[in-house]
Structure 1
């Protein structure tokens, strides 16, 4: 007997069927069934032989069990039916077999999720259409208030979305938390699913949790295609999200130049500033500290810090103020120096050519680059600063020079620094103390 034989809860005949199922061979399984094995004898942990066959994704094995009396509506120990399991595994052929055997399309799982909802997420249009034809309800709700259309949208399943919409699924139904099918589609990352729901009349004025708009959600999720579809619509482009950012700020950090162009064309303020974050930081549990507040910052500085060179160019072409200095003394060069892109630093120095500019604490670009640790752009960024005359001997407000930072920091960083600026730390020649 194989190790899998012990999965059978009953002796004798069950053992024979367990051995047969372990082979995954329909002929062997049929032989065991003809010899008297029970097609519905539960396996260990409550799995039925039919569920086991579905897991193999072999329609022939499923057919043998159904032929010999396997019940298509038997519930396993977790409350799931074979039809729900087949939908999750995605085989259209097996789903059709179960439907032909009169599997109950309306029987939900313990959480109220119907087989149709599961198929809407994992299977194609053909399966969903067949289940609808067998009486599945297009707008059945599960325990979380989600419909099959929401399940389909969450997976970006275009075929299932189309089939459900054709069957009359409500495109603007919302969960108790405020998520609509459109919000699920945006979260899936699928631009095509977003487009399908917009074409079906999805309400773009709906607000989700924390008063989040569809455009803000697309930006949170970095679903740039969805954002590009939503940006031309009637959204308030001056509105700040929970992070205190306007849509153009997020697009600038993401580097989506098409979206930047759309937002600017719709009237977004190229020099608009971020506002205070509404996020409540919980740090007491691990004795941590919330991040320092960020002063009002325009899109150009955010793009520079994120290393988005093309976005920087688009913003400048759109009228961005290249000489802007934030309340903490940070300009475009210092913003780029705090990122990890030599190309962005080079572009920033072209916009504001001073490699020794300092913020309110006397921090220079060279301080920031060395303090940023080891990364693949470190050497290139140091070379950019060296080429533009950066001085390793300028002290910040704490009296520390970049040369001293390199000397007392990570050995890997010092090695790269030494290759560019040399190994001897010169004395302090000047200070950037405010």
Structure 2
């Protein structure tokens, strides 16, 4: 900051436009003694020329100048120096001129002659305070606009990142409906945000076996969606590596054990609840393991509802969680329903037990259709939900 800028920052800058030399000198002396930085002009043209270069806080302008009306100077000052406040002065008591000046934006209107400096100094101090307030408001406005521009740019980048993440997530997700011989797998995912922390995968293990899992990552949004991508890559790699080396199938509990080891080693601060299952057509059985998956899946078979409970720990929290494989014989037609806990959040009920009961009723009423299930939950394509909802239906004949 140069010396003039420092002076201007410390003093009130006043532009005095007065045609009478005696009055001009007197007013300039009063204002200077009041610590103002004053420039003066004897006519409108000179005053207008000083507006841009001086950028005054306050303009004190005579209504009747030798070359133009003070109202013209007032209008030009409003355009050239929008942060300046203009005080009009006149030796003639003209109500029309007073009203017109105030309508055009004058801060005050004073009548001459000035016998004492008090009235003028009070008006200038008040106008200078208003001018500084206007300048501060404009600066705050400009700062806010700049922050808004930065925010909009950040939101644009975030949207692009989310769209890229969504494209990757959709690309690695299996088809929502597929048949494996006599086994049909259907699923839907309703994200609470643009990206989902819920994930479903299904895959062929051998000509007689199909595997699947439903995972619910802690949290929401991009970070949780990123973990689902890691999970897909991780499980694919684990299955392939294990089968290449041992020539045998990696069972659900072993998949969860190795996924847990990898999640802990990454230190992502995320954990997952997972229900992982394997159906063996030839043996006629379901092998499953659960890592804190809630609500527990239901197996509908032979007019009976089996609760597939397991008390395994979440993936990514504890060393040696001790996941176990559990086996359920399959006979005749069956339906296995699994969903993430987001489904419970959209249900009415005084307790989790009542909500679970309602969920089972919806499974029974869904008529073997995941879209019917979501509809009975009250979930539409446009509806927003408080938590990600994933629903998986595995059905078939053994």
TM-score by length of 2: 0.21
TM-score w.r.t. length of structure 1:
0.20
Q: Which has the higher contact order (CA 8 A, sep 6+)?
A: 2
The structure with more helix, counted as a fraction of residues: 1
Structure number with greater Rg is: 2
